Amino acid sequence: MKPLKIAMMSMTHGHTRKYYQTLMDNPKLDWVAVATANDEVKEIFLNSVKGIPCYDSELEMLDAHPEIEAVVLASENSEHLRQMKLCAERGIHILSMKIPTFDMEEYDEMIKLVDENNLVCQIELEMHYNPVIARLKELVKNGEIGKIKSFNATNITLSPVWAFPWQGVPEKSYGKRVSIKEGDSRFRGGALCDHPHIFDMIRHMTGSDFESIYAEVAPNIRPDIEEEDMLSVIGRMKDGTIFSLDPSWSKMEERLKVPGPGWEVFPKRMEVNITLNGEKGTIMTDCFGPNVYHNGCPNDRYTVQYTYFDEWIGLIDEFVDNIRNNKTPLINLKWHKKTIEAMNAVYESISTGKAVKL
């Protein structure tokens, strides 16, 4: 198979550096270039990766490399539609960061761009390629616990705001400035916008869609950010599955500009735990359990070394296969739109104090 000529844009997203090893080492890829959004991320990239041309402008990169076949949009949510238009004009396939947009009119425009230009647009929800999740999917598919009756999940992390400041700006994260609820000084765009994975995963596991959602927001444990950092969501799927979801920034962090050892205050910087209760039994999963911990540097406390790089390999392998064989991605725009609609319903429920029917 001919290697896919791939590039990256912006480099401002928290997942950017997760791609470096895969893009360098995967024989299915030919990493052509990157375009950085500002001097700060450019410096970080140049200190991390050698030998890949780096441009200050997306247009400059695209004009210099007409051979580019696909682009990773490693950018803030508010930039995705603009960048998708650049790609569509040139017939370039797209791997978008995990929230394409919260604006449903923009979402429809994205779908139209992709369909009219016969592009592959895959949404980066890497948890689908986590080996623990793969095993969980297998057990569910084989009927080990029977029909799913309830789904409980946490997707709790530290906050990326300090290293990736756009995630603390409502206009860039949520797409516009919308009050979280009347009388509250915070705005939409915080932890919920960072954690679509479990909303996506329950749809995938049950094969059903959301019927009703009720959500509440907690007081912030970081009083100096203007978005929500802790919330809780409950509801019911159309197939009757009930759920409880915690998509919070409830792990505390050191405020480092470049994430690394010592960023986390607790040993684990993220915990994605899923409990499925079925008619015949229960499965409990710790999706990021297989890690290495050590004492000492830099702050004389436990530090975690993650060992889940498999996710990014599987995600990229599927992306290449979709392009080369003209397949529809597992997480495509049309399918994923209902996940984003549900997340908007979470914000609506917080704002109104009522359950929302979908």
Per-residue confidence (pLDDT) for residue 316, from 0 to 100: 93
Prediction pTM value? 0.94
Mean pLDDT of 253-270: 84
Per-residue confidence (pLDDT) for residue 296, from 0 to 100: 63
The C-alpha angle 303, 309, 314, rounded to 5 degrees, equals: 160
Model confidence at 181: pLDDT above 80: yes
Paired tokens of 184: 């509250």
CA torsion through residues 87, 91, 92, 95, sign: positive
Per-residue confidence (pLDDT) for residue 291, from 0 to 100: 67
Model confidence at 355: pLDDT above 80: yes
Per-residue confidence (pLDDT) for residue 264, from 0 to 100: 84
Per-residue confidence (pLDDT) for residue 258, from 0 to 100: 86
d(CA 14, CA 33) in angstroms, rounded, equals 19
Per-residue confidence (pLDDT) for residue 309, from 0 to 100: 57
Mean pLDDT of 93-121: 97
Mean pLDDT of 150-171: 97
pLDDT band at 269 (very low <50, low <70, confident <90, very high): confident
Per-residue confidence (pLDDT) for residue 308, from 0 to 100: 56
User: Which of 12-21, 245-254, 265-274 is the least confident region?
Assistant: 265-274
Per-residue confidence (pLDDT) for residue 306, from 0 to 100: 65
Per-residue confidence (pLDDT) for residue 49, from 0 to 100: 94
Between strands 231-237 and 210-217, the pairing is: antiparallel
Per-residue confidence (pLDDT) for residue 311, from 0 to 100: 84
Mean pLDDT of 196-205: 96
Paired tokens of 287: 């999706």
Nearest to 219 by CA among 210, 228, 208: 228
